[in-house]
Amino acid sequence: MQMRSSLLVPYALLGVFLTSALPTWAGAAKNLMPEGSFELLERGLPEGWKMPDPNWYKNFRGEATVKTEKGNRYLHLVCPVLNQLLGANYTFPITEDMQRLRLSYRVRAEIKELATNDGTGVGVALLPWWGNVETTQAQFGGAEWITESTKDWVSKKVELDVPKGATVLTLTVGIKAADAIADFDDVSVEVLR
């Protein structure tokens, strides 16, 4: 009897711990992009990101770097021509139990000119992949692309359903068919369910 009562105390404490921890677990969605803040660098480049090749974008005087402002790092893109997509990619695996995602990021854009076709500007898109084959679907989704300059940083957020059977998602942060300067920070993709 003595042993049983001594065991009761730890279990009671565990119960208190679990009860207090539950609301936190319920509110925190899993973030699939641990390096969306551009704070961690590897040889000057943001860790986990595939940056565009400088040999390619220097031909049109483009720029893709990490800059620092008040101790905070962010992605800085410059695309002075209308016929290019200048972007950084982040690829991550996805499983069948991930059905709905929330994409969010902060962006600051200076847009000088847009190409005349649709879907141009500054923004973030998610592309699904099935195995190693790229889909014919042009764009899975993202927040509406910015087509006018922002005075300061603005926050974007959008919820998206994952296409059935997708095994990999590529997130592209960039400037598409626009003469623009764009800064990005705090990119996250959370699993809502």
**Residue 58, SS3?**
helix
Token pair, residue 93, equals: 């695996």
Q: Which of 29, 31, 37, 170 binds Ca ion (CB under 5 A)?
A: 37
Shortest distance (Å) from residue 36 CB to Ca ion: 8
- Cα(170)–Cα(6) distance, integer angstroms: 53
Which residue's CB comes closest to Ca ion? 37
Number of helical H runs and strand E runs in the chain? 2, 12
Shortest distance (Å) from residue 192 CB to Ca ion: 23
- Cα(129)–Cα(169) distance, integer angstroms: 6
Shortest distance (Å) from residue 66 CB to Ca ion: 9
Q: Which residue's CB is nearer to Ca ion, number 75 or number 166?
A: 75
Tell whether residue 150 is a contact of Ca ion (CB under 5 A): no
Q: Which residue's CB is nearer to Ca ion, number 32 or number 66?
A: 66
Q: Residue 4 burial (CB < 10 Å; 0-12/13-18/19+)?
A: exposed
Taking the CA of residue 78 as centre, how many other CA atoms within 13 Å lie in the half-sphere pointing to its CB?
11
Tell whether residue 185 is a contact of Ca ion (CB under 5 A): yes
Q: What's the gap between Cα 66 and its chain centre?
A: 15
Q: Which of 17, 34, 56, 72 binds Ca ion (CB under 5 A)?
A: 72
Q: Which residue's CB is nearer to Ca ion, number 120 or number 185?
A: 185
Tell whether residue 183 is a contact of Ca ion (CB under 5 A): no
Report the interface residues with Ca ion, using CB under 5 A.
37-38, 72-73, 185
